[in-house]
Amino acid sequence: MQLQQLTEKYNKELSEKTIVEKLQYMVEQHPEKVVFTTSFGYEDQVITDVIFKNDLDIKVVTLDTGRIFPETYKVYRSTLERYKKPIKAYFPPTDKVEELLDKKGPFSFYDSLENRKECCFIRKVIPLKRALEGNDIWITGLRASQSNNRSDMQEFELDEGNNIIKYNPLMEWSLEETISYVKEYNVPYNVLHDKGFVSIGCQPCTRAIQPGEDFRAGRWWWEQGSGKECGLHSLKK
């Protein structure tokens, strides 16, 4: 069955199942080919808790860009200590990072959108492709309410660029529901969330948001317009 047909099938047939049931089904249908990428934010910590508590055979990986917050490393460590399960780190290619810094310096992403996307591609997209290689299902912590360009997302989507089915288990969750889960089950979380950081990425490119600001306002705040993304979740080839 083609990936698009499979995506439609999962959206139709699994709609009434719980998150745990859907994850277990993915494991059964795609043994050893299900991967979850975490950046240790609220949403990802919820999914990590579900995977590890239920001992699901799902690979949990993270992308270490080399520019993440110390607080992110701390929640990484506390998550390893809490669950006693592995989380594999993928890094950007050293040669490309060195070339970028040699040619444009350490903060080229502030200079232009083109430069920022170049940095994101090297530090995030390339490692992601390595992490997804050989897998059928990519689990993410995306929620529909996080930004305007995610509002029409589906629970199961075909990511054509990576030739993989993306499963978004928290698609319909609100931020409040996500935080409530973390608090109720005492899940390790990034303390930056307590300081107004709702979406946490690389340190030079992330700031806290003010009351009333858009969820994504703290990411690449110097750029104009909404719907800002790093390229990880582009569905285009």
Q: Which residues are catalytic?
A: 230
- Separation between Cα atoms, residue 42 and residue 10, nearest integer Å: 25
**Cβ contact 209:215 at 8 Å:** yes
Burial (CB < 10 A; 0-12, 13-18, 19+), residue 86, is exposed
- Separation between Cα atoms, residue 222 and residue 169, nearest integer Å: 31
Backbone angles phi, psi at 89, to 5 degrees: -100, 135
How is residue 149 written in tokens? 């360009």
Region label for 163, one of left (φ > 0), alpha (ψ between -120 and 50) or beta (otherwise): left
Q: Which of 159, 129, 136 is nearest to 28 (CA)?
A: 136
DSSP string, 4-53: HHHHHHHHHHSTTS-HHHHHHHHHHHSTT-EEEEE--SHHHHHHHHHHHH
Q: What angle do CA 115, 43, 60 make, to 5 degrees?
A: 80
